[in-house]
Structure 1
């Protein structure tokens, strides 16, 4: 019994240390330095995000989307990721998810369509890493759609994207 308790404590400590290093130091050490992106392209059906330069992709990432990703976001609670042309207009270094870049959804058209239906279009759509404290599960979490409509990548990938994508970068989200 005593050895079982010690073993459980060691496992908990190891997982805690893994979460600490995965969420803080390790991504900064492993993320590649990339040229600045001129645009970002997301193809929802492929579950891919591409950094673009001179009209060509130069880096790609596997993404997780909202829990009901098919179709354009129509209202706040639909768990869809919007489709269309937007900007990555500001960043949050203290996000609840490892770094985040804001997608300028809703635009005027999105807002007008939601108002015509009498619903809120939602907002706060972000490109972000894993939930803080869970970065060590990044590869596993990327295997299914788990966000509320955001675009999620692993923490290491988010470190790269964070440095390569300046504020004001266009993002196109395709079906």
Structure 2
């Protein structure tokens, strides 16, 4: 896997992006390499945006408040594990901006049904919202959170249909 340094990736991104930085706007246009895959590693609280095998951006993330194990049921506070896709965008998110992950998939629904429970849903990659939060403690209801500033860039870079691989 080729890899940019954080500074190199940021330079590439900033050099390739056109910012709509009017007062208070949270939207920008990204003109850099296409993000072809998102990888989330729960064990080290990291998310990586890739263009094929080239790392574009690494991020520290916060996860569901019950971080161990895969999401299985509604309300379990866990972040899913497996292959999903970005399937929607929310410019009016309570958590600044967000992009949706198509959890639950058919396997997730079947497992929950077999256990007599609901699988839950509404899993997003999102910002921190209006609350001041520090890095470290997991706090979401199963989503993946980054700072608002980071989410602004992710929202511009990651398009619907991009695969998201979430590993334990």
- Give the alignment's TM-score, normalised by structure 1: 0.78
In structure 1, the residue matched to 2:165 is 172
Which digits, 9 at most, give the CA deviation of each residue in 1:40-74, with x for residues without a partner? 00000010010011223221000000011111111
Q: 126, 136, 149: which is aligned to 2:142? A: 149
| 8 A Cα contact 1:129 1:152, kept in partner | yes
| 8 A Cα contact 1:64 1:153, kept in partner | yes
Aligned residues: 146
In structure 1, the residue matched to 2:24 is 25
Report 1 or 2 for greater relative contact order, CA contacts < 8 Å, sequence distance ≥ 6: 1
- Aligned counterparts of 1:33 and 1:130: Cα–Cα separation in 2: 25
- Give the alignment's TM-score, normalised by structure 2: 0.81
- Bigger strand share: 2
Query: Where in structure 1 do 4 or more consecutive aligned residues deviate above 3 Å?
Result: 26-29, 31-34
Please provide the CA RMSD for this pair: 2.0
Larger radius of gyration: 1
Unaligned runs of 5+ in 2: 1-22
- Bigger helix share: 1
